[in-house]
Every structure is written in C-alpha cells, then in structure tokens.
Structure 1
Amino acid sequence: MIAALLAVCAAMGNAAASVMQRMAARRVPRQQAMSPRLIVTLVRTPVWLGGIGALILGFVFQAAALSQGGLALVQPVLISELPFTMVLMSRVFQVSLGPRSWLAIVLLTGGLALLLFAAAPQPGGGGPDAEGWMTATAGTLATVWALVFVARITEGAGRAVAFGLAAGIGFAFTATFIKQATLVLEEDMSALPVTWQLYAMVVAGLCSLFLLQNALQSGTLVAAQPALTLSDPVASIVYGTAMFDEQIRTGLWIVPELTGIGLIVGGSFLLAQSPLFHAQMAAA
C-alpha cells in the first residue's frame, strides 16, 4: 500500500511538471523555438523551474516507491500521470475536458485498478546476478533493436507504434536500474556512486527519451500514446517477475488482467485524441 501511494505521488509530481512546462512554454516567443535562447528564457521563468523541481520530486517518489514495492506494482500505477495531467490542465487553463476526455480518464483509471486488483503484485527478493543482468540486457537490446528496425522500414502510424513500444520497454528497463539502485542504497549508501546500475539508469533513460521523441515525431499521438502506455507496465511486470522474483496471480485471473490492459489501451487511445493532451505533449 505504501509503494502504491508513493507511486501515485510520483505520478502527481510528473503531472504537475508537465503542466508547469506548458505554462512556461506559452510565455516563450515562438521565434525562439529550436534556439539556445529557448533554454535561457525558460531558466529565467520561475514556473519552469518549478516544473523541474516537480519532475525531480516525481523521480524521488518513484525511487522511494520502488524501494517499498516491486516493478509490477509501481510502474503500472505511474500510468495515472495521464489523467492527473488532463485534470490539472483543465483547471489551470480553464478548459473543459469534454465527454470523450472524461471517458478516457474513467477507462484509464478503471483499467489500472482492475489490472492491479487481478494481478495482486507481490514484492520479490534481491536483484538478479551478473548473468541475469546480461540476459535481461541482451533480450531488451534485441527487442528494442527489432522494433527500431521495423520503425525505420515502416511509414505512418506503424512507425509511431513501433517507436512507442520501444520507448515503453526502454522506460521499463530503466526502472529496473532504479530498483537495483534502491536495493544498493538500503544496504550501503556509500556503495551507490560506484554501482554501475546508477550510470546504466542514466544511459537507458536518455535512450528511452530519444525513442519517445522519435515516436512523437513519426506519427500522431493516437498511434504513439497507446503503444507507450501499454508497453511500459507490461514490460515492467515481465521484468519484475523474471529479474526480481515478484509474483502476480495467473490462471483465471489472466482474464481480468487482460481486460484491464484493454481498458488502459482504450483510454489512452481516446486521451490521445484530446486537443488539450496534444497541447500538453507539444509543450513537454
């Protein structure tokens, strides 16, 4: 329960960061786009600095959540960032969400609740050994490379979907390094700076961010966002069970779990059609 609450706090922090980024972007002259002056202007904007602070706070909450719970629990909860962002933007910018957006929020929230209830993720033990890390890294790189290859030979929505899937898997794999770093931190704080997973986390996160930008640039949000929203929690559950011995319910529980995933995808599909969400992603 503590891990879930911390993950919700992380999602709220990320949502607040996105909204404040949007507020700052609206105040920047359009001619500064793709110019170094853009960063200079943003750094001088208090609301943008507040967004950076909220982003850092969200990361701290995510790390704290992973120290208390498993990947299979924490990463799916972070999906709640999407509805939090929409509600905050509607209040800050005084824009009505509309029935479609509210339906998307209900589907996302309901699907997430159903998935977590059916899966009932249980935390596992310590992290994998060197062989386990090598296997997970090789499998992840092969999967991401295959998706990038598909994206490069595909046009339109298919390309955005492939890049979105690759980015989601990348973010999930980044979370495995965060999880391992929290385990090291609990045992010996002085050992963290010399732990290779700490630096692998930075590299994996930057590569995932690069894949995300390619997904957003390759097609519409309607194609990219559902792929990203689906791949992150699903991959996190796989990583959690395979690498950290986390447990989820199987058997007949797979039916409501798949139903929850379907609701999440449907909700993210509707959300990606919202003009307000398009504006938020453009600013972020």
Structure 2
Amino acid sequence: MWVCVVLAVLAAAANAAGSVLQRHAARNEPAGGRLTIGLLWDLAKQPAWGFGVTSMVAGSVLQALALAAGPIVLVQPILIGELAFVLVLTAVFRRHRLGFGEWLPVAGVGCGVAVLLTALRPTGGDPLTVSAAGWVVGCLATTTLVAVVVHRGATVAAGGRRALLLGSAAGAWFGFAAVLVSAVMAAARDPSVTVLSTWQFYPAVVAAPLGFFLLQNTLRAGSLTASQPGLTLVNPLVALLWGVTVFGENVRGGAWVFLELAAGAVVVAGTIGLARLPLLAVHERAGSPSS
C-alpha cells in the first residue's frame, strides 16, 4: 500500500511540473479562443510546452503504476496535492520564500487528504468483476455529463465561468480516464491476460488525447482561481463514485462519515485557498502576452 501512496505522490509532483510549464506556454497564446487543433499546433512550437507535456506523460505513467498497486479510491485523492506542488514549484522558479499564509493551505490540503484516506480506508473492489451493464451505465453517465459541461463551457465568453466549467469537465474526464486505466492495470496483474485483450485499453487510449486537448483549453480559458478547483476536486470525486458504486471498493461508513465530510471540507477550502494565492496569480501574469 505504501508503494501505491509514494507513486501517487510522485505522479502529483510530475503533473504539477507539467501544469506550471504548460500554463506558462498557454498564457503566451491569445485568450478567448475556441476549441481548435490550431491551438495545439501553436503551443507545440514552444519549448516550455514540450517539457510540460513530457512531465505530464511521466505523471500519467506513475499514476498508472499507482493504480496497479492500489484501489482507485486511494490513488485519485492523493493527486489533489498537485496544486500544492504547483505553488512550491512556482516559488522555487521565482525564488520566492513561502510565508505562513502560503504554507497554511498547503498543510490544509495535505492533512485533509491524509485524514480523508485514513477515515475512508478503501479496500477490495475489482474492475474485472464489473458486469457489462455496470460499465455501460457508468460510461454513458460520465461521458454525457462531461459532454454537457464542455458544451456549456464552449458557448460562454472567456473568463471565470468558462474556466470553471471546462476545469470541472476536465477533472471529470481525467477521473474517468483513471477508471479505464485502473481496469487495464488490474488485467495486467494476471499473467494469462494481455493488456490488448481488455476492451478498456482502447477507450483509455482515446481518452488520453481528448483529456489532453481539453486541458489545454482549460488552461487558457480563465484564471487559475476559477479553473483549478474544479479540475482538482472533480477528478477524485468521479473516481470515488466509480470505485464505490461500480468497482465495489469498500469504505468505512457510520460515524466515520462525519470525519470524512470534515476532512473533505478542509481539502476543498485548502484547494480554493491555494488557487487564490497571489503568487499563483503572478505566475499566470508572468506567462501572459502583456508581461
């Protein structure tokens, strides 16, 4: 289990590095554009974006390894720590010494996630035992939700509302991608089963570039304050719902629910607090055309 936790933490750190680099590159592009392939072509010309993509790929590999070592309900909440790593990396790059007010939400997120996972204590569950009906209902519900939110986000003007909608949609999509990867990695543990023989492998391959494309537009849709809470928090929420209702993973109920809700509230407050820190706002302006 500790291997799973370490791999998930490393995945969060790699994703954070990718986010910092990709956000810098995205802010060099004019704001307000729609979802286009041309956006990716422009971004591909920037070295920072390339390094960010490489870091994100490394994070995806580490996440897949974590999912192979533990339940999805354990892995995905740890990735909430990505935003804390974004803050720390931004401070390092700008040679800024973090103060108490900046470390406080970092500690809140870290402690909140630790208490939440301790209270949940997820065990069991097996994606390979899920019925065809369970997969169909879960996939249709998730993809429909994401499509509706993306459509709504693409039809509103650039700014906080679009960033919130696209960030939430991207978070839900990455959570769904993790669900597919979790099933693939579960199959990979059986030496008699090949990864290519699992049907989840093929939608996972499609889901990865779609999520990547959505993320690029989320990064430039609006401020970090608006986009990051949805991007960060919806991901583990989708994974939690899939893990408990579809995969059959067990979490503690009863009086533990109160502690789980309290820890979740601390995580949400810490994430919003991190997204509103001036240092991250400065980081966004540093990559804008006006800088």
Range class of TM-score, shorter chain: 0.7 to 0.9
TM-score by length of 2: 0.80
Query: In the alignment, is residue 200 of structure 1 matched against residue 203 of structure 2?
Result: yes
Provide closer, same or farther for how the CA distance between residues 221 and 17 of structure 1 changes in structure 2, counting only shifts above 3 A.
closer
Residue 254 of structure 1 corresponds to 257
**What residue ranges of structure 2 are gaps of 5+ in the alignment?**
31-37
Task: Give the equivalent residue in structure 1 for 2:237.
Answer: 234
Deviation for aligned residue 1:200: 0.9
Contact 1:8–1:78 under 8 Å retained in 2? yes
Indicate the larger mover: 247-256 or 191-200.
191-200
| Separation in structure 1 between the aligned mates of residue 23 and residue 230 of structure 2, nearest angstrom | 23
Which structure: greater helix fraction?
1
How many residues of Structure 1 are paired with residues of Structure 2 in the alignment? 276
CA–CA distance in structure 2, aligned partners of residues 255 and 54 of structure 1: 37
Tell me by how many angstroms 1:106 deviates.
1.6
CA distance in 2, matches of 1:280, 1:188: 47
How far apart are residue 8 of structure 1 and its match? 1.1
In structure 2, the residue matched to 1:124 is 125
| Cα gap change, 1:9 to 1:245, in 2 (>3 Å) | same
Task: State the Cα RMSD in Å.
Answer: 3.3
Q: Which amino acid aligns with 2:9?
A: V
Letter in structure 2 aligned against 1:145 = A
Please point out which of 186, 189, 193 is paired with 1:186: 189
Partners of 1:34 and 1:145 lie apart in 2 by 20
Q: CA deviation at 1:148?
A: 3.5
8 Å CA contact 1:118, 1:253 repeated in 2 = yes
Cα shift readout 1:52-108 (whole Å, capped 9, x = no counterpart): 544333222211110111110000011112212221231233123344322221221
- CA shift digits 1:32-67 (9 cap, x unpaired): x9695763552xxxx876655443332222111101
Shift of 1:270: 1.6
Residue in 1 that maps onto 2:149? 147
Cα deviations by residue, 1:103-132 (Å, 9 ceiling, x for unpaired): 221221122112111111113124223222
Partner of 1:3: 4
Q: Does 1:133 find its partner at 2:126?
A: no
Q: Is the 8 A contact 1:148 1:166 kept in 2?
A: yes
The runs of 5 or more residues in structure 1 that have no matched partner are none
Tell me the SS of whatever aligns to 2:123: coil
* Aligned pairs for 1:16-95 within 5 A: 16-19=17-20, 39-40=44-45, 42=47, 51-95=52-96
Q: CA deviation at 1:134?
A: 0.8
Q: Give the distance between the partners of 1:56 and 1:35, measured in 2 at CA.
A: 16
How far apart in 1 are the matches of 2:20 and 2:220? Answer: 21
Q: Which amino acid aligns with 2:196?
A: P
Please report the TM-score for the alignment, with normalisation by the length of structure 1.
0.82
Counterpart-to-counterpart distance in 2, 1:18 and 1:219: 14
1:22, distance to aligned residue in structure 2 (A): 7.2
